[in-house]
Each structure stands twice: as structure tokens, then as C-alpha cells.
Amino acid sequence: MYRLGKANVFLPVLGNLAKRIAALLAKELPLVKNCIWETRWISSWMELQPPYNWTIVETEKEVLESVFTSLTGISKKVFLDPDRKVVDLYILTLNESVIVKPLLSESPTFPIGKITSAAPEKILVDIVAEPDLFRAQQGELDRIYVNAFNEVRINQTKMLRYANRRRKYDAVYSLIPLEHRLPQTS
């Protein structure tokens, strides 16, 4: 199904820290799949702006600890797959952090130059699927989805397939603005 309209292509800019991380990982672990993105990208879709920017580094489960160890050479503010308690005690108090977590297979990604990054479909599903990590966004999920769908091109089929893999299909589908929502197929 196709929809007529003038939505823009999602073209975020990676910050210096994210670029340094990408360069380090390309040098030290060139055969490992990584996805690097920043939480400030969500801020343009929000009214209340979080006072921090996290660089999210997602990588293959088998090399999580190796990636974590490599990144501690760049920053001491690196956290390995943090739970809610670690987020509350340590990460929320920092302006900038690096979070290393597993990359799920078939995650929607796209290239920014030579760097693989999170597509908007992935970001929108992840903030619903991981409320402990993306707590600042939970109160604005409706607004985030409305603004994202109005501002950038979103592939609903890709997004809902990923949401289904994360067991969040119904939650994500209900957040899609009615005027953008495609009929469910099942």
C-alpha cells in the first residue's frame, strides 16, 4: 500500500562522540555489526526536552563485553545493557552517556555514510519496548508518534514487523496517528 504526501526522509546528524565510537569499532572490530544512534534525535518530536543526550551503541550479543571494554577507552560514561536501577542511579545524572546493548536481528537500520544507524521505525518501536531506558519519552509517546509521522517518512510495514518481533505490535499500532494508520493485515 502507498500513501500520497510530502514527508521528508529521516536525515539525522551524528555527533562527534558517535563518530569517534564508529571509527573505533570499525578499526578494532571491523566484522561486527553495530547500530549507532543518539537520543537527541527523538527530541525534535517532543515538547519537553530531556537534559541529556545518550549515544546508543547496539551490537551483536557475542561481542557486547568486547565493545563495552573498547568504548571505556573513549569515555568513562559507558554502560553495558543497564537496567532501571542503573539508569536511575547513574545515567540520568549525566548530560552525556554511552549505552551498549544487544542489537536485535532484523532491526530497521540505514546508513549514515559508512555508519549503520537506527531508522525512525526502530527508534519509535524501541521507545515503546524499553520504557525503563526511554523513561523521558513515555509521557509524550502520542506526541512523538504524531510529530514523527508528520515530519518524516515512516514505513509502517517495516515498523510493525519490528514491533511484532519485540512483542509490542498492539502498543505501537495504537500509537500510529489515525490519519496515517494503514489498515491492519492479519
Cα–Cα distance between 112 and 65 in angstroms, integer?
25
pLDDT tens by residue, 133-177: 998 899 999 999 999 999 999 999 999 999 999 999 999 999 999
Q: Where do we find the cell 519519552? A: 137
Contact 41, 123 (CB under 8 A): yes
Residue 186's pLDDT band, with cuts at 50, 70 and 90, is: low
pLDDT of residue 180: 83
- Domain range summary for the chain, segments of one domain joined by +: 16-175
Cα–Cα distance between 78 and 86 in angstroms, integer?
12
Share of the chain above pLDDT 90, in %: 77
> Which cell numbers in the block locate residue 162?
519490528
pLDDT tens by residue, 64-111: 999 999 999 888 899 999 999 999 999 988 999 999 999 998 999 999
Whether the full predicted model's pTM is greater than 0.85, yes or no, is yes
For the cut 80, the answer to whether the pLDDT of residue 7 exceeds it is no
Work out the average pLDDT over 13-28: 94
pLDDT of residue 1: 46
Query: Strand, coil or helix: what is 16?
Result: helix
Cα–Cα distance between 172 and 174 in angstroms, integer?
5
Cα–Cα distance between 101 and 44 in angstroms, integer?
24
Work out the average pLDDT over 14-18: 94
